[in-house]
Copies of this chain bind each other. A is one copy, B any other.
């Protein structure tokens, strides 16, 4: 039924969320292109610096990311020497920390991140940017 499809196309919150997410992701990815980290990796470097002695669970909770997703996403960062993983006294867990090289790449990334934030605000418009900000904070508080 065309009627139903039209309804979905016009009102589906998944579609809208996902389309916007793709756009936002690409905007930040382009900004970080020459830095050497993806937006997701940048956010992981943020969290690992904020949580001292972080393990996989701590980070996945902080980033609201699936544990197994975060676990896999760590690998490129380890490979590139941006984060370091060490054993813990509790031999079940692993301690995750940022390296010196990771800190350096974060400095570069931070500047580009600021540019991306400004660029997105321009695209969306300051008024809607503020609306989006407070709305998202409210939603995140709900789903956390």
Q: Which residues of A contact B (CB under 8 A)?
A: 2, 4-6, 8-9, 11-25, 28, 39-40, 42-43, 46-47, 49-50, 62-66, 106, 110, 113, 116-117, 120, 123-125, 128-129, 131-133, 135-140, 142-143
Contact = CB atoms under 8 A, between A and B. Distances in A.
Q: Is the interface of A mostly helix, strand, loop or mixed?
A: helix
Contact of A135 (B39, B63, B135, B138): B135
B39 A14 contact: yes
A138 B128 contact: yes
State the copy count for this chain.
2
Nearest to A138: B128
Contacts of A135: 128, 131-132, 135
B142 A123 contact: yes
Contacts of A19: 63-65, 140
Contacts of A15: 43, 63
A56 B94 CA distance: 45
A125 B139 CA distance: 9
A7 to B, nearest CB: 9
A116 B14 contact: yes
A89 to B, nearest CB: 25
Contacts of A28: 14
A110 B129 CA distance: 32
